[in-house]
């Protein structure tokens, strides 16, 4: 069970993806005390980056190869809000990998006292692999292998 008494945050690989725990801080909230809607995107970005780090894929290495990941499309659906002290799970699942795109499902979840996970924000994410000029670039074989393709 996720609770406010938890002091260490998990960051782990799971089958076809990654999970990361995030604590909601005062700075994450709006005037009403709930997480401001755009902060869910920040949680998802951090989770994608930590997932890549677990796979030994580093943005600094990509930059040296004139490569980067860029969000091409994202479709969001919001549920009930998170509030201060909530411990959230950000789950990232790779659904499909093509020549230069990855398709992810990301969810920000709260585990309730009952053990049930409540989806607070869900996103279908299309990520393009690009060169620094912005054009699509095929995944190199080693990167595709690390991503599980």
Give DSSP secondary structure letters for 33-82. SBB-TTHHHHHHHHHHHHHHHHTT--HHHHHHTTEEEEEEEEEEEE-SPP
Positions marked catalytic: 30
Nearest to 10, CA basis, from 41, 76, 54, 56: 54
pTM of the model: 0.91
In the chain, the percentage of residues whose pLDDT exceeds 70 is 95
Give the pLDDT score at 149: 66
Give the domains, in start order, of the chain with CATH numbers.
Answer: 16-147 (3.10.129.10)
* Cα angle, residue 139 at apex, residues 17 and 15 outer, rounded to 5°: 15
Average confidence (pLDDT) over 81-105: 96
Structural element, H or E, at residue 143: helix 141-147
Give the pLDDT score at 60: 93
């Amino acid at each position: 069970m996720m609770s406010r008494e938890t002091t260490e945050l998990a960051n782990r690989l799971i089958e076809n993806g990654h999970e990361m725990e995030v604590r909601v801080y005062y700075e994450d909230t709006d005037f009403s005390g709930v997480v401001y809607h755009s902060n869910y995107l920040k949680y998802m970005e951090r989770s994608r980056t930590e997932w890549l780090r677990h796979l030994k894929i580093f943005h600094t290495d990509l930059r040296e190869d004139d490569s980067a990941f860029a969000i091409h499309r994202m479709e969001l659906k919001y549920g009930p809000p998170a509030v201060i002290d909530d411990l959230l799970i950000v789950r990232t699942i790779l659904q499909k990998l093509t020549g230069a795109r990855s398709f992810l499902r990301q969810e920000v979840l709260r585990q309730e006292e009952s053990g049930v996970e409540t989806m607070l924000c869900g996103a279908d994410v299309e990520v393009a692999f690009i060169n620094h000029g912005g054009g699509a670039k095929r995944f190199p074989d080693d990167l595709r292998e690390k991503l599980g393709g």
